[in-house]
């Protein structure tokens, strides 16, 4: 059989990092390949593709952004910072308009809170212009989706600015007279803008609750938290609108600060359903049960029908799991581990033992030992 001629049908050349094909791939194809490799965390090969692009177009915007991401992910922070700086004014090779992502990366890389705030402001200004363009666009499913994503990015940018004020490690308020006077008022303005941009945004409401706590307004904080939680608590776990685990962990901390133990446990239940290896979730659940056990003892030995011994044992189980996962994962949060061990030691001193393994013979019905000399397991042992 004679093979058909294929002159009129061109086959796309294979893309390699070295570019050995006779017809070099397009810049767009190289960008797509590099982005795919970054998504796969193959940063070494991704950089080779990015380098090929920059050899052909030295100031290619998307390639330089990808290069900065690769440098950031591989721990070359100084190089990443330098790369992102080329993408914003006053660099002569800055994108026009500047990339908001470059501002956001630089804000995260900055050790100076004032400079970080300035970068966030730069990102916000560009994002607002982009949002206005989307709002003027012809309505379509794609346009609506892009607009929703833009609004969420704007809200997260504003929240990051608020968090700079509230982070004790930065102590931004101590320099706010020379920087931005009236930190308290500024936080209110930023969060109002966030909620005007995306009404009912759960992360914005959650941050507002944190501000209300710092203002010693716990009742108002509770209202904000209830609104934030209501926005997503009935969603399916795989719903795209479900907040990330980090945001749900932050919500639990606020619930615990307000002694709202039941909603805290419900949120943690959802977190662990998504990731049962989450160290901080196990720690917070243990801490929650410990606080509930303390409150049960103060109330005469029980809380909502649960004996303090049962709550204390649940606390011990969670904290033991937290300790095991922390060690196995080489988790970086040492203060968390130290506090977990401190709580375990207190429970041990009270005679509270972890639940027996499933394959072990059942011992005491409550899974913990009586404190020597105590006749009343629910009434005589002090938690503090």
Residues 280-332: tens digit of each pLDDT: 999 999 999 999 999 998 888 888 888 999 999 999 999 999 999 999 999 99
Average pLDDT of the segment spanning 192-199: 96
pLDDT over 80 at 14, yes or no: no
* pLDDT > 70 in the chain, percent: 81
Query: Quick one: pLDDT band at residue 384, thresholds 50, 70, 90?
Result: very low
- Residue 378 pLDDT class (50, 70, 90 cuts): very low
Q: Kindly report each contact of residues 259-265 with a partner whose C-beta sits within 8 Å and lies 24 or more positions away, as own/partner.
A: 259/291, 259/295, 260/222, 260/225, 261/288, 261/291, 261/292, 261/295, 262/304, 263/225, 263/229, 264/288
Percentage of residues in the chain having pLDDT higher than 90: 70
Comparing 41-55, 176-190, 335-349, 361-375, which segment has the lowest mean pLDDT? 361-375
Average confidence (pLDDT) over 155-174: 77
Q: Which two tokens stand for residue 10?
A: 């061109």
Q: In the predicted model, what is the mean pLDDT of the chain?
A: 85
Q: Per-residue pLDDT averaged across 132-151, rounded? A: 74
What's domain 23-90's architecture? Alpha Horseshoe (1.25)
Mean pLDDT of 71-100: 95
Is the pLDDT reported for residue 27 higher than 50?
A: yes
Higher-confidence position of 232 and 134: 232
> Six-digit token pair at 171?
């102590």
Q: For 263-282, what is each residue's pLDDT tens digit?
A: 999 999 999 999 999 999 99
Q: How confident is the model at residue 171 (pLDDT cuts 50, 70, 90)?
A: very low
Q: What is the mean pLDDT of residues 123-133?
A: 94
Average pLDDT over residues 25-42: 96
* Mean pLDDT comparison of 94-98, 129-133, 243-247, 289-293, highest-scoring range: 289-293
pLDDT at residue 363 is higher than 60: no
What are the CB-based long-range contacts (under 8 Å, 24+) for 299-305? 300/378, 300/379, 301/376, 301/378, 301/379, 302/378, 304/262
- pLDDT value, residue 177: 28
Q: Give the per-residue pLDDT at 84.
A: 97
pLDDT band at 375 (very low <50, low <70, confident <90, very high): very low
Most confident residue range from 140-144, 333-337, 360-364: 333-337
- Measured distance CA(325)–CA(327) in Å, rounded: 5
| pLDDT value at residue 175 | 39
User: Higher-confidence residue: 382 or 66?
Assistant: 66
Instruction: Band the pLDDT of 5: cuts 50, 70, 90.
Output: very low
What is the average per-residue pLDDT within 122-131? 96
Q: Is the pLDDT of residue 179 over 50?
A: no
Give the range among 23-37, 163-177, 357-371 with minimum mean pLDDT.
357-371
Provide the pLDDT for residue 134.
Answer: 74
User: For position 326, what pLDDT does the model report?
Assistant: 98
């Amino acid at each position: 059989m004679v093979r058909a001629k294929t002159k009129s049908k061109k086959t796309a050349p294979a893309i390699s990092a070295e570019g050995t094909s006779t017809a070099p791939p397009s810049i767009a194809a190289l960008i797509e390949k590099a982005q795919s490799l970054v998504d796969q965390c193959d940063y070494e090969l991704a950089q080779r593709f990015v380098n090929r692009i920059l050899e052909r177009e030295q100031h290619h915007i998307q390639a330089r952004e990808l290069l900065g991401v690769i440098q950031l992910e591989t721990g070359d922070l100084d190089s990443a910072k330098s790369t992102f700086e080329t993408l914003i004014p006053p660099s002569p090779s800055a994108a026009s308009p500047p990339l908001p992502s470059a501002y956001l990366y630089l804000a995260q890389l900055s050790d100076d809170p004032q400079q970080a705030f300035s970068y966030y402001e730069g990102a916000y200004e560009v994002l607002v212009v982009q949002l206005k363009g989307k709002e003027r666009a012809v309505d379509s499913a794609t346009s609506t989706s892009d607009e929703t994503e833009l609004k969420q990015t704007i809200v997260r940018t504003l929240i990051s600015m608020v968090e700079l004020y509230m982070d004790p490690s930065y102590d931004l308020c101590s320099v706010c007279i020379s920087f931005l006077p009236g930190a308290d008022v500024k936080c209110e303005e930023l969060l109002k803008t966030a909620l005007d941009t995306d009404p009912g945004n759960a992360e914005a409401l959650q941050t507002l609750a944190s501000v209300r706590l710092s203002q010693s307004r716990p009742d108002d904080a509770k209202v904000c938290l209830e609104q934030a939680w209501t926005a997503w608590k009935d969603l399916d776990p795989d719903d795209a609108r479900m907040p990330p685990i980090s945001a749900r962990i932050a919500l639990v901390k606020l619930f615990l600060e307000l002694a709202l133990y039941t909603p805290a446990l419900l949120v943690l239940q959802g977190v662990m359903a998504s990731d049962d290896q989450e160290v901080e979730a196990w720690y917070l659940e243990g801490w929650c049960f410990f606080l509930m056990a303390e409150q049960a003892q103060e109330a005469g030995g029980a809380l909502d029908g649960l004996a303090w011994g049962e709550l204390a044992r649940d606390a011990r189980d969670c904290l033991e799991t937290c300790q095991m996962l922390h060690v196995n994962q080489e988790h970086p949060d040492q203060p968390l581990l130290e506090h977990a061990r401190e709580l375990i030691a207190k429970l041990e001193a009270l005679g509270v033992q972890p639940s027996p393994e499933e394959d072990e013979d059942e011992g005491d019905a409550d899974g913990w030992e009586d404190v020597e000399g105590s006749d009343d397991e629910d009434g005589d042992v002090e938690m503090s």
